[in-house]
Each structure stands twice: as structure tokens, then as C-alpha cells.
Structure 1
Amino acid sequence: MSSTTFLRLSQLSLVTSALLSGHAFAEQQKEEQAIEKIAVYGQHHKNYITEEAQSATKLGLTIKETPQSISVVSRALMDDFSLDNLNAVLESTPGVTVEQIETDRTYFKARGFEITNFQVNGMGMPQDNGSIQGTLDTSIFDSVEIVRGANGLMTGAGNPSATVNMVLKRPTYQTQVNASVSYGSWDNKRLELDASTAINENHAVRAVFTKHKTESYLDRYEQDKTIYYLAYEGQLTDSTVVTANYVNQKKDADSPLWGALPLYYSDGSATNFDASTSTASDWSYWNNTTEQLFLSIEQAITNTWFLKASYAHLENEQDSELFYVFGTPDRETGLGLTGYASEYDHKDKHDILDIYATGKFDLFGMEHDLSFGVNQADMDNKDKSLYDRTTGNGFPAMPELGGWDGVAPVPTLTDGLTGADITSRQRSAYISTRIRATDSFSVLAGVSQVNWETEGASYGVAKDKDTDQTVPYFGAVYDINASLSTYASYTETFVPQTERDINGDYLDPITGKSSEIGVKAQLLDDDLFVTVAYFDAKQVGLAIAIPDSLPDDTRYYGADGINSDGIEVELSGQINETLSASFSYSNLNIDGDELVKDYTPENQFKLAVTHKVPEIDGLTFGLNYRWQDDTKRVQVRDAATNAALITTTQDAYGLLNLMATYDINDNMSVNLNVNNVTNEKYIHSLFWAQGYYGAPRNYSVSFNWQL
């Protein structure tokens, strides 16, 4: 997008704001009372139900009013089942698969595509891929929102998979103090402290401290996490609110997996190691540090309009020395593997600014909603890799893995310096509206004009690109009655490409298109929320190499990529005074990529239930169960016929977790969690050709105190 286009869109937003604000201000003069509080669209938890989310639009709509599938994992669900990291949260989310390929690197997928859109408090964090290094702790989150499908209106570049919004805890004006200490299998120790109080009637602060140290079922693996969180909220005037949030999260991992276990022997038969088997050396480590600062100011213009400006500064650093094992072992001896040592350092920095106005206006006797704004994200990514190709310690021959104690030659990592130095900027201007045609029928529409610029190179490959894209959003909602509504929507998003066509020009971006129809219902006095959705998503313009292109100058053409469709059913909330539940079923069909189709489960079932025992005051039982059908990965194909010669298969499996909580008194409680009760042995993911096993049966006990 040219600077002229961006300026015009910005001017359009300002002009529209002035006109609508003027009209609303005139109406405001008729009000006898002054504005006392700024409008805040927050979460209202009823156990496992949340009514509102801000990840799909900025119109202040409830989940029922938004024509897309939205799931919210509430603080209550995270607390009940000790969902202490983002992996555990998304494992409980409908239609999401957690591709845990290593101990400290994870990919998330939805509807056949990688999730690359992540937000904190509604602010997008643009990135080229969906891998998350380390594990994001949830002790600082109030909830996690997941909008499935394309969401280009809010995030710009990305896949038609989902958007994950992590909502930070906010200060409370009533003093509250919470403390929790837990101990579990493999010397798993965790401490959480959470305190919030008002400074005076207009200012409040909150602080969270978390310390988590644990060994592991995996040989040699240990992790040490420390999280600091500070939040401030202040009402400067009757119409102005400012907030500030600071996050510092550090995770040090000793003997982490880089890569994982070989899944087949040289004769083609499947390996079957102990679940504890690791390929990590005793000297390897992977340390991740994240520092985040969020600032925002909200200014009420009238009692129905406000302006919000937000700024975020994010820094992530990785420092690691890693050990990878590759090759195919002999079935009889276990030999045939080779080690591979590397030093990997990474630093990325994001500066994000978002300014928007939102509110209501009257037209043709009906009240409508409008939101518009501009966004800019500046991103710097630098990393480097070092190897040992000189001393002989960088690529040692490996002993049989089953009896290996992790002792490997210590490399001198000074060779083959390579890396990346990339600078990117994403700019967008967006507008969205909800028009009420009647009391029962609403139409939503929006458009985002996005420009993505990148300069630099990654491991010798130029990443220069300059892409403009217009991203549309359309939707409609019809309220059948006060409890039941139907909806339909069409959304898009895009991914820039650096591949060139036959003429040497850059290919157009990959376009992700997502269509969805569904039914939403709020039942049982609005305590139970139900969604049934059918979706169809596809990629258009995926770079495919032209046959017979020169290896050092490969040219590409745009083709259709993955096409997926399926159904998702979700139920969450409070069924009666003693029973709360979160249930989902998803079915996914994928065409266009056999590899993705094979390792992605077609059917998933997830259930979390808690029951307060009426006969024993303070006692609650619960279960958390998730099941997926079989997956596979073709490892070796016949070069002539393309027939599968060696295939790794993961049979269908289910994981059952149980919990029990007893409230000792109004201030103290004890919680017991037992995970993988049936001791199921399973491979975490077939996203890569390697894999490792999930945790066997384990437990944790926590003592909780609140003021």
C-alpha cells in the first residue's frame, strides 16, 4: 500500500469520526447526567461461559452477535484443571490441534492451517510462522479467546485458521490476594501469587508472581520458569481511562529436545522406545526470555462513542546450545544415528501502535455500530547459528538410544556462522460496521487495507517484499428469538510470498478464504452457550515450483493449496447449580495436501465437566477428556511409483484427566489433579518425521488461599 493510500484511508477515518462524533455529541447534550465511566467491553464469566470477546471485531459485540465461531477458555476452567500453559489451554479448544514437536517449540493448527495470528489484549503480534518457543504461562491471563477461521480484519497477514487472543488480568478496585502452591510428579513445584488493590477510588494496581521448577518424565529434561506481571488502571477524568501492563517471563530449559526420536528402523518396522527416552545431551540448554509492555488510553467522546489508542513493545530472546539426532537406527543394534550440535541465538522486537474509534449511530430509525482505525507494526528479527565442523565433536556417532545417558562430546561452536537479519513493517487502515436492518436481522461488513514490507535475508535467502492487500469481511446474523440465532460470514486473510514467477516478478500473496454458517443459542437463563457451525476454508495462490526450473533459480506459479471443510459443535456453561461443562466435537476434511491430511486428526472430541457435590459442602469433582482419531505420516515412498513404503501410524487415543477440589473454609482450598489416568502411550505429533511420547500418568496437589 502506498503512503498516499494509507494517508487517504487515515483521513477518511478522521473525517468520518468527526461527523459521527458531532452527531453523537449533539445527542449527548440532551442527557442530564455527565458520563461517569468509560465504556469497557469486558468478560462476564459464569463458570465456563463468557459472553463477550473482542478478537473478531472492535464493535463491542457479544459472542452471539458475532458471525464466526468463537471459543473462550475461562479462568475458571484454567484453574480447575491446572491449565498452566498455552499448550494445555489450546488442547482444550474445539478444532485446534497442538503439534508439540519438541519440548520447547510448538505449532498450533486449526481447520488444516497453522495458527499464525496471536494477540494480547486484542493487539495483534504479526509473525511469519506459527511456532511458539518456550511455553507461555497462563497465570497472568484472565481468559484466552479463540476466533476460528480467517480474521484479516483484525490481524492483517495470516492463515484462515484461527486467532488466539490472550486477555491479561486487570486490576480490581476491591482488594484481593490469592496464593497457590503445588507439588506434583517429577518434583514439579509451582508457586503463584496474585494481588490487586485500589490506590484510591480512581486508580488500581495488580501484581502477579509465578515460579515454576520441575524435572520431567523425559530423561535429563528440567525447566525453570519465572513470571513477573504488573498492571495499572487509572481513571484520569470522568471520561478518560489509562492502562499499563508489563510482562516479564523467563524460561530456562536444561537438556531440551531439538528434534525428537526416530520413528522407524532401517527395516521399516516402527520403533517403540520408553516414554522417557530423549535425544537431548546433558550439556544442551534452551533459554527463552519475553518482555512486553502495553499502554492504552481510552477517551469517551459521548456516552456511546470512545476513542482508544494502544501501544505495545515486545522483545523476545533465545539463547541455546542444542543437540539433534538424525538417521535411521538398526533394529538389532540400535546403531546408525548421528548427533548434530548447534548454537542458536535469536532476538526479535515488535513495536505496535493501534488507534481506533468505535460507537453507535442512528439511521432510518435504528441504532447501528461502527468502528474504524489505523495500525502499524514494526518488527525486527535477528538470529544466528554456529556449528562445530572442525573438532569432530559436532557430529558424533550415537550409541543405542534406549540405554544412552546423554553424555556427548562437548562441541566447540565457532564454525559456519549463518543467520537472519530481517526488518518488517505492517500498516493497515480498517473499518467495520453492523447495520441493523430490523430488530432481528443485522448485517456486518468491513474492510482492511494492509501493506506489508520486508527487507533483509534469512540464511542466504532474500526476503525483500512489498505487498498491498485489501481484506474484506462480510457477515449476517438473524435472531430467530431471544435465545436462538443463525449466522453466515465470509472472511479473508493473506500471506506475503518471496517466490518469483517465470518473468522474475514476485508472486501475489497467498489468499486465505473462509466461509461459515451456523447456529448459536443461549439456553438455561443464558447460562449455557451452544454453537453449531459448518465451515469451508481454502488457500489460493500457493507457490508451486515450475517443473525443470534451474536449482539455483527456481521459478514458481500460484496454485490452489489446502482446502478444508467440516463441522464444529460446542457447548459451554452452567447446566445447573452443581454442574458446569465445556464440550466440543469437530470434524475436518482436508484436500490438496496429503501430508497435512494424514497427520491431522479428522475427528476430535473434548469434554470438561465439574460437579459440586450437594451432600458435602465445598467438594467438587471433575474430569477433562480429549479424544482424537488415528493419524499417520508416510516416511518413505517408492521413487518410481510414489507408493508408500514406510508409514508411521498413531492409533486413535483418548486422554482422561481427573480433578477434585475441597474448600476447607471461605479462604482455603486444596486441589488434586491426576492426568492421563489410563496411562495412555502416544506420540505427541506427526507434524515432523520425528516425534516423542506424551507424559505418562502423573499427579499434582495444590493448596490455595485467598483473601
Structure 2
Amino acid sequence: MSFSTMRPAPLALAVALAFASGPLLAQGSGAGLPGAAATFNISAQPLSQALNDWALQTGAQLIVQPALVSGKRAPAVSGSLTPNQALDRLLSGSGLMATREGNAIVIKAAPPTGDAATLPSVTVTALAERSATTEGTDSLAARAVSINKGDQAIKDIPQSISVLTRKQMDERGIVDLKDAINDTTGTVGISGVGQGMVLSARGFQIDAWQYDGVAIPRNHYTLGNWGTEDMVFYDRLEVLRGASALLQGTGSPGGAVNLVRKRGQSEKTVALTARAGSWDRYGMQLDAGGPLNKEGTLRGRVVLDEARSNSFVDYANDRTRSLYGALDYDISPDTTLGVGISHLDSKGRPFILGVPLYAGGSDVGLPRSTFTGSWWNRSNVEQTTIYADINHRFNEDWKLKVSAMRMTEKNSSKHQRMSGEVAPDGSGPSYDDWITDFDSSKVGLDAYVNGRFEAFGLRNEITVGANYSKYRSRDMYARTFTDGANIFDIDHHRPEPTVESLLAAGGRQSRSGYDVQQKGVYGSWRARLTDPLTAILGARASWYNNTFSDYRLGSQTTESTSGEITPYAGLVYALTPQWSVYGSYTSVFEPQSSRTVAGDVLPPAIGKNYEIGIKGELLDGRLNTSLAIFRYDHKNRAVNDLASGFACDGWYCSTPSGKVRSQGVDAEVSGEVLRNLQVMVGYTYNTTRFLSDPTNQGKVFSTWTPKHLLRAWVSYRFPGEWSRLTVGAGVNAQSHTLDYNRSFNVAGFATASLRVGYQFTPELNLALNVNNVFDRRYLQPGFIGYTGGTYGDPRNFMLTLKYTPKL
């Protein structure tokens, strides 16, 4: 999208020009350095287009009210100039001035001095850094990511990375992390054995989630997967696929996710959104922000979201209230302090585990609205998170960032579910009564220094940092199973249980907790060996301690790792300014709690990830493309030691002899492929196999990872007199997966979605989303067989009205 064709954005009075094809024009010696002279060639033209060209050539983020430049022209600017000199010449005689606010250049009306307006000089420093913010860009392509410490171009990172931008979340109506993951290339989000979800990539769970780059454990419950996350607080979701231990320590071989929160804005904005959809789903949201002082050095943001919904499942419902506030303060031109707090409160009647199936996985054929719970099913999730960070720029080459967060979370429920295979007459399942009460706190800290310098005749960049995380939980659950249920005659009015009644009926209670601490130091070094070739080397040393306490038995189990080293290496070769090829090696380690027959804790499972690929940043940064081939080998996995017999608490001991391999291909295209036409299309081919296992040799490792996975969304804004009309369409498709015991296939599926949006006025937008257009009946992949089957949402509608008043 060119600057000259952009209209006043409905969410703000500002227009951000964040598209660029590379760092500060890099065709001459030293031209890639921030503030250094570069060769400019900008023709005489409307000022709006000239500023767009300047932003594209410098990589700077430029913010300007369209009304300020309307009807004005800029002179031709050419020759070897600094970005500051080029911008001064473009604005000469326009009555406008440029000032720096944070990482952006803001164009404003120049104040009068004497009889004429003068244009003070602005020092453009560090503006070759790309802004990773997606809000306000109206793009499905991200210009940069921050998951790798500091905003970096995606094509300069030798691993597969995808970004779900604010535009895609808004157009798709995504408010939940599970839905966000299922709209992202190469990732799978499934329902857990509790109310929460499991996130995975390349066949492995991702249980440590990052918030603004700070990693904390998020699915470390005693009982299954109960972690949830609301997306209304976040600007974008960044996903790195492949081993991520360098910056995260112990972690998933599949990758890492980074949730990047919304920030205070430099211009006043207010957005009011109302939603209404199928199954009595209603919602309201206020999102407002802007400068809080005359200088604009203090900026604020507030988000209030209320959602009430029933479900296509009978009796199931939910009420979620989400609150968020943030402040960003420029202590000086080079130092910014940011703080924020979010609170989520969700109450409702949950539907857990799904509907039991016939033997062999056949669908019983009940309506998708079938509810297996009771009238007394209820749940409550409360989450409060406090964020703080400080960014300091020592000079144009060196900067420091320190981030911290604390999250407290309570997750409680009382519910009836059904489990077990169904006989032809409907008998076979049991009623399972559960009471759960989980209480956890998480603390995370990350600090790093990043700098660029010349040494040994090379251009170098280093990152040195340290991080720390702590997770503490106190978990209780009680449950009992009662035979005699019939799937064709579900009793929703059984007596409401208590912990005491469950125990009196022969049930079981567990009271336990985790105390997990991890700390580490890391470093990476990027050296430009030749003009097109960059080498990256890195390593991390990690210390990990996990204590599991069983309060009922009065026992403790501890696993720990000290000084575990995980290396990292990569090469990036710039074929052209737009295309690069790369290769990388990354590693990961996962501590294990299993013990050998001698009583020793098993060493960590370790893995090696190899990846080669090609990335493109095309059309002046408006389009990202990537293609990668990967292989990951995981060894030292705990497997049953069959030779030892039942020598470990009445069951098999373990031996570190298991091996698993995940390999495949990732491909993605995101951004503007043609004028007004934007796409996000991602395809993944992935196989996972047990290479060494006493019982699963040669079998599929990840039961919920499909071999073929397609994510696609297309958005088109009509030109000319129809420019108020936007249409969108998407497809999510995947091949079959397996049940929990790998005994039968779970059929693959494809669902289609549509969107029509109309901008009635600059302030008022109305959109209609239709999901699962063809009303496909399918089972969601996951713990099928262990938990029954959960149906995907039938065809449904959501109407969204958005009002952004002029301020």
C-alpha cells in the first residue's frame, strides 16, 4: 500500500509508514550504519508519496496526519545524503517539521518563529531498526519480529518464523490463543484434558510461553493442560518453529511463542466495538489510548472487553471480562519505561472431554449439541499479570532492555464428564465427577544488551543477556468414576458432589504442587564475513530445578540440571537485497523426572535441529515469503525398562534409550501480493516417528500432528468507488491424525470462512464473518480415545460494528 493511496485510518488519526526493503540503504561502504550517508533518488512529486519513498529507503517508521500533507509537493532529492538531510530537503518550504518520538519520526506543523516558520533539524538515529508493531499497518505481513531479542527482519533470522498480525486477528475475529495458533503456519492448538489447551509445533508441545520476550512455564499443572490466554491485550503473536533453547533454556523442540502486548499511542485514539453472533454470543470492547501530556512523552492505553456467550453445545456458556491498562514514559529521548497490568475473569458452565465414541473411533452420531455434563458444572479462571520494561539507547549502536512480569492464576471447576467406549445400545461409558482447584504464580525476568561495532575488519553485532523464571503451584483435584451411564440417556441432574462425597464414594484426592526455577545466561554473535554472508554463533548455559511435592503422601521428587550448555549456529547469505538463503543448527534439552532401576534420575533428553531455507522480503517490504526444510532428532527420551520388571513403585523403571525424529517442509507467503490484495498462506508437511522405543518402534510419535497442514486467509479491498468494501476468505485444512492410543485414524477436515466488511463513514465499519461456511462436521484432533471426541464449531456467524470517533 503506498502512502498516497492511504485514507485516514478508522482506528487512529495517524498513518504509520513502516514498510521498508532493508536497513538504511546499503549500497555503499558504511551506508548500512544508522545515520550514515546513503544514495537517495526521490523525484519531485506529492509530499505524501515522497515521504513514503523516504521511509522505504531508510527503514524508518514515519507517522503523519494525512491532512497535513494533502495538496503539498516535495522537491526532488538526490545524491549522497544522511537520512536527516534528505528529510529536511523534502519538508523544505512545507511548513512542517519532523521530531523523534520513541522509535518513530512524527511530522507536525512547525511553530512560527518571527515572520516565517523554520524547520528545526531532527537527528535521525537508530532508525534503521525496524518496528515490529503490526497495529495500524493494515497488513498481513510483519516487517520485523522481537522474539529473537530486539526487532529484526524475518529474513535475517535463520529459522522459520510466522507472525499473526493485528489485522488478521481483527478480520478473523480471533480473541483466544487456541484460535490464533490454529490460524498460524505449522502450529496446532488442541483442547487439553482440562479446560485449557495444548500448543504444539513440529510434533512437540510448547509449554513455556513468552510475554514481550519473557518466558514462563504456562502448562505445568498437576492435572493435564489448563492454560488459557485472551488475545485482546496483544498487538501480535510471533511463532518461532524449531528448537529455541538459546534464548529460552529448557523448552520445546517444536519452538516458541511470543505474545507482544499493545502499547500507548502517540496520537489520541478511541475504538468502540460491538459484537453479536450465533448461539447468543455478545460482546463489547473499548480500546483507547494516546498522549497524556503536552510533550507526548507519557502515553497510555486502556482495553475493556466484555464477552457473554452460549455455545452450540446445550447448557454450556461463558462470561469473560478482560481489563488492560498500560503506560509508556520517555524518561529521556533515549530511555523509555513501560508498565502494564491485565486482568481476566472467566466464569461459566464448561463442557469438557467431548462425547464418547464407539469402539474403533466411530462417531455415535449424536447431535453436535450433545452435553455430557450436569446442571452443576461450573468453572472460574482468574488471571492477573503485571508487566514492566525499560529500553535504553546508549548511542546509535548500543542498547539495553530489561523486562519483568508476574502472573497469578486461579483455575477451579466442578464438573461431570463421560468417558469410555460406547456399546451399540449406548452403554459402556461412566460418569466422571471432578472437582479441581489450581493456584499458581509465575515470575519472569529477562535482560540483554545489544550492540554493533567494527572489529577484525568485520561488521559485528552481539547480544548478551540473562533470564530467570519461577513457577509455583498448589494443585488439588478430587474425582470418582461411576459406571452405568448410557450415552443415549444422559442424566444432567445427578447430585452435586463435594470433595467429601467423592472420597466417601471411593474416589481419589490429590494435593500437590510444583516449584520450578530456571536461570541462564546467553549470548550470540553475528559477523558479516563478506558483504552478502553473515555468520551467527551463540550459546546458553542453563540451571534448572524442579521440585514436585505430594502433600497427601508427604513426599518430594526433585530434578535438576546445572550449567547445561546449548549451542546455536547459523549462516545467512544475501542473494539480493530481497532474497536470502540460510542454514542453522540449534539444540534443546528437557529435564526428566523418571528414574532408573538403580534409583538415578535420567539425564535430560536432548535434541538437535537442522534447517535450511530461503526467505524473501519483496515489494518494498510489503510481502514476506519463506521455504524451509527441517529435521529434528530427539534422544535420551525416557522409555520403559522392560527388563527391570515392575521394580519402580509397582511399575516399570525407565531407561534413556528413546529416540524420535520430526522432519518436513514449511512454506509461507504473507502480505500484499497485488494492489489491495493481501494473503497469508502457509503449508506444512511434517512427519514424526519413534526411531527407538520398546513398544512404539516405527510408529507415529505425535498423534495430533497432521502430515499435511494448510492455513490460508485472503483479504481484498475493492478499488475506486467501491473502496469502502472489503472481502475476505480463508481455509483451514489438514490430513488425518491419530487417537490417543494410535489404534485408529481421526479423519482430516477442511473448513472455509468468509468475511464482508463495509466502511460506511470514516468512523463506522460493519463486518460479517461466516465460519465453517459448508457446516462441516468433524472431530477436533487431540486426546481422542482417552477423552472421547470434541466436535468443531458448526457453521456460525459474527456481526461486528466498530466506531472510531474523530478526536
Compute the TM-score of the two structures, normalised by the length of structure 2: 0.78
Tell me the distance in 1 between the aligned counterparts of 2:789 and 2:362: 15
Pair 1:360 & 2:452 matched: yes
1:351 and 1:357, CA in 2 relative to 1: closer, same or farther beyond 3 A?
same
Q: Structure 1 vs Structure 2: percent identity of aligned residues?
A: 26
Cα deviation 1:396-431 (Å, max 9, x = unaligned): 445433453622221232234422122121010111
- 1:386: Cα distance to partner? 2.7
Cα deviation 1:9-50 (Å, max 9, x = unaligned): xxxxxxxxxxxxxxx9xx9xxxx9999857676325451000
Pair 1:670 & 2:775 matched: no
Q: In 1, are the aligned partners of 2:213 and 2:446 still within 8 Å (CA)?
A: no
- 1:299: Cα distance to partner? 2.2
Residue equivalent to 2:723: 617
Residue equivalent to 2:191: 100
- 1:225: Cα distance to partner? 0.6
Residue equivalent to 1:604: 709
- 1:691: Cα distance to partner? 1.6
**Range moving further from structure 2, 462-471 or 438-447:** 462-471
Pair 1:657 & 2:748 matched: no
Q: In 1, are the aligned partners of 2:711 and 2:731 still within 8 Å (CA)?
A: yes
Tell me the distance in 2 between the aligned counterparts of 1:684 and 1:64: 34
Q: In 2, are the aligned partners of 1:101 and 1:692 still within 8 Å (CA)?
A: no
Residue equivalent to 2:688: 590
Q: In 2, are the aligned partners of 1:59 and 1:433 still within 8 Å (CA)?
A: no
Tell me the distance in 1 between the aligned counterparts of 2:681 and 2:491: 43
Tell me the distance in 1 between the aligned counterparts of 2:760 and 2:162: 32
Q: In 2, are the aligned partners of 1:103 and 1:257 still within 8 Å (CA)?
A: no
Work out which of the residue numbers 432, 439, 443 in structure 2 matches 1:351.
443
Residue equivalent to 1:261: 355
- 1:269: Cα distance to partner? 5.3
Tell me the distance in 2 between the aligned counterparts of 1:104 and 1:687: 13
**Range moving further from structure 2, 95-104 or 157-166:** 95-104
1:705 and 1:624, CA in 2 relative to 1: closer, same or farther beyond 3 A?
same
Q: Secondary structure at the match of 1:464?
A: strand
Cα deviation 1:276-302 (Å, max 9, x = unaligned): 112221101121111100111222222
Residue equivalent to 1:432: 524
Q: In 1, are the aligned partners of 2:615 and 2:625 still within 8 Å (CA)?
A: yes
Q: Secondary structure at the match of 2:154?
A: coil
User: Which residues of 2 match residues 107-506 of structure 1 at below 5 A?
Assistant: 107-127=198-218, 133=226, 135-200=228-293, 201-254=296-349, 256-265=350-359, 270-332=363-425, 334-387=426-479, 395-397=481-483, 399-404=485-490, 406-414=492-500, 415=503, 416-458=508-550, 462-468=556-562, 469-506=564-601
Q: Secondary structure at the match of 1:283?
A: coil
Task: Specify the code of the residue in structure 2 equivalent to 1:588.
Answer: N
- 1:259: Cα distance to partner? 2.4
Cα deviation 1:337-356 (Å, max 9, x = unaligned): 22121211011111222221
Residue equivalent to 1:43: 132
- 1:171: Cα distance to partner? 0.6
Pair 1:550 & 2:655 matched: no
Q: In 1, are the aligned partners of 2:375 and 2:493 still within 8 Å (CA)?
A: yes
Q: In 1, are the aligned partners of 2:279 and 2:309 still within 8 Å (CA)?
A: yes
Task: Specify the code of the residue in structure 1 equivalent to 2:722.
Answer: I
Tell me the distance in 1 between the aligned counterparts of 2:536 and 2:366: 53
Task: Specify the code of the residue in structure 2 equivalent to 1:671.
Answer: A
Tell me the distance in 2 between the aligned counterparts of 1:36 and 1:627: 44
Q: In 1, are the aligned partners of 2:210 and 2:259 still within 8 Å (CA)?
A: yes
Q: Secondary structure at the match of 1:276?
A: coil
Instruction: Give the paired residue count.
Output: 658
- 1:268: Cα distance to partner? 7.7
**Range moving further from structure 2, 298-307 or 132-141:** 132-141
**Range moving further from structure 2, 437-446 or 647-656:** 647-656
Tell me the distance in 2 between the aligned counterparts of 1:196 and 1:395: 51
Task: Specify the code of the residue in structure 1 equivalent to 2:623.
Answer: L
Tell me the distance in 1 between the aligned counterparts of 2:659 and 2:556: 23
Q: In 2, are the aligned partners of 1:59 and 1:359 still within 8 Å (CA)?
A: no
Residue equivalent to 2:54: none
Residue equivalent to 2:113: none
Tell me the distance in 2 between the aligned counterparts of 1:441 and 1:275: 56
Cα deviation 1:561-603 (Å, max 9, x = unaligned): 3211000110000112220000011101111053535542100
Residue equivalent to 1:8: none
Residue equivalent to 1:20: none
Task: Specify the code of the residue in structure 2 equivalent to 1:197.
Answer: G
**Range moving further from structure 2, 366-375 or 512-521:** 366-375
Tell me the distance in 1 between the aligned counterparts of 2:420 and 2:345: 33
Tell me the distance in 2 between the aligned counterparts of 1:235 and 1:407: 59
Pair 1:630 & 2:736 matched: yes
Q: In 2, are the aligned partners of 1:435 and 1:442 still within 8 Å (CA)?
A: yes
1:132 and 1:551, CA in 2 relative to 1: closer, same or farther beyond 3 A?
closer
1:380 and 1:506, CA in 2 relative to 1: closer, same or farther beyond 3 A?
same
Cα deviation 1:410-459 (Å, max 9, x = unaligned): 12322344221221210101111111111110011111100001223257
Q: In 2, are the aligned partners of 1:101 and 1:691 still within 8 Å (CA)?
A: no
Q: Secondary structure at the match of 1:109?
A: strand
Tell me the distance in 1 between the aligned counterparts of 2:491 and 2:726: 43
Q: Secondary structure at the match of 1:104?
A: coil
Q: In 1, are the aligned partners of 2:706 and 2:736 still within 8 Å (CA)?
A: yes
Q: In 1, are the aligned partners of 2:242 and 2:254 still within 8 Å (CA)?
A: yes
Tell me the distance in 1 between the aligned counterparts of 2:801 and 2:377: 34
Task: Specify the code of the residue in structure 2 equivalent to 1:376.
Answer: Y
Tell me the distance in 1 between the aligned counterparts of 2:627 and 2:383: 37
Residue equivalent to 1:692: 790
Task: Specify the code of the residue in structure 2 equivalent to 1:239.
Answer: D
Q: Rg larger in 1 or in 2? A: 2
**Range moving further from structure 2, 239-248 or 58-67:** 58-67
Residue equivalent to 1:11: none
Task: Specify the code of the residue in structure 2 equivalent to 1:698.
Answer: N
Q: In 1, are the aligned partners of 2:712 and 2:732 still within 8 Å (CA)?
A: yes
- 1:325: Cα distance to partner? 1.6
Q: Secondary structure at the match of 2:701?
A: helix
Task: Specify the code of the residue in structure 1 equivalent to 2:800.
Answer: S
1:87 and 1:99, CA in 2 relative to 1: closer, same or farther beyond 3 A?
same
Q: In 1, are the aligned partners of 2:572 and 2:581 still within 8 Å (CA)?
A: yes
Q: In 2, are the aligned partners of 1:160 and 1:538 still within 8 Å (CA)?
A: no
Q: In 2, are the aligned partners of 1:396 and 1:409 still within 8 Å (CA)?
A: no
Tell me the distance in 2 between the aligned counterparts of 1:241 and 1:418: 46
Work out which of the residue numbers 604, 607, 612 in structure 2 matches 1:517.
612
Cα deviation 1:312-344 (Å, max 9, x = unaligned): 111111111122322333212x12322121211
1:650 and 1:35, CA in 2 relative to 1: closer, same or farther beyond 3 A?
closer
Tell me the distance in 2 between the aligned counterparts of 1:652 and 1:499: 35
Q: Secondary structure at the match of 2:678?
A: strand
Q: In 2, are the aligned partners of 1:659 and 1:673 still within 8 Å (CA)?
A: yes
- 1:551: Cα distance to partner? 4.5
Tell me the distance in 1 between the aligned counterparts of 2:523 and 2:547: 28
1:612 and 1:97, CA in 2 relative to 1: closer, same or farther beyond 3 A?
same
Tell me the distance in 1 between the aligned counterparts of 2:530 and 2:700: 47
1:44 and 1:582, CA in 2 relative to 1: closer, same or farther beyond 3 A?
same
